[in-house]
Amino acid sequence: MQTYLALLRVHVSAGVIGSLTILAFWISTVMSELSGNHVAVVAVKNGILWGMLVLIPAMVTVAGTGFRLAGKAKSALVCSKKRRMPIIGLNAILVLAPCAFFLANRASAGQFDTMFYVVQAIELIAGGTNLTLMGLNFRDGLTLSRWLKGSGLRPA
């Protein structure tokens, strides 16, 4: 049980770090674009690439610990959380990471053309989607924990 609770602590911490990192990427992107300052946009784009060094381990950790905590559980909440995780991961690998590299390259080259803004819009939508899915996993995690504690299946 000690190991389980330690795993849960790691799971929640990684979930919080991952969610806050994506939120920071999203807000700093919108703020820099609205400022119209290309120097700020370049700084944010490069910052996001470095930030991925925090985000990727956090997401791998939240997924790994989540699946271990869930074990063979088949409740609706666990199944919903399990179903969302591959969507979050694929969205990050196939859409968000390529967009981040493309945008950082274009911004550093001073190429703020139509293509830049199309990809920027795609990145914001994909980032918003992942934030929403992570928020839903967070909410379901809290409900699940309350239920597990209430039913005496695990100590508080």
Residue 76, number of CB atoms within 10 A of its CB: 9
Q: Of 81, 96, 103, 107, which one interacts with ligand HEM (CB under 6 A)?
A: 81
By beta-carbon proximity to ligand HEM, the closer residue of 46 and 61 is 61
8 A C-beta contact, residue 134 and residue 19: yes
Task: Compute the distance between CA of residue 79 and CA of residue 133 in angstroms, rounded to an integer.
Answer: 14
Closest approach of Cβ 67 to ligand HEM, in Å? 5
Task: Compute the distance between CA of residue 71 and CA of residue 93 in angstroms, rounded to an integer.
Answer: 25
8 A C-beta contact, residue 33 and residue 127: no
77: burial class by Cβ within 10 Å (0-12, 13-18, 19+)? middle
8 A C-beta contact, residue 5 and residue 68: no
Number of residues binding to ligand HEM, judged by CB under 6 A: 26
Closest approach of Cβ 153 to ligand HEM, in Å? 8
Query: Does residue 15 bind ligand HEM (CB under 6 A)?
Result: yes
Angle in degrees, 0-180, between the axes of helices 76-90 and 38-70, rounded to the nearest 10: 140
Closest approach of Cβ 50 to ligand HEM, in Å? 21
Query: Does residue 134 bind ligand HEM (CB under 6 A)?
Result: yes
Closest approach of Cβ 37 to ligand HEM, in Å? 32
Query: Does residue 154 bind ligand HEM (CB under 6 A)?
Result: yes
Footprint of ligand HEM on 88-107 (CB under 6 A):
88
- Residues near ligand HEM (CB under 6 A) are 8, 11-12, 15, 18-19, 62-63, 66-67, 69-70, 78, 81-82, 85, 88, 134, 137-138, 141-142, 144-145, 148, 154
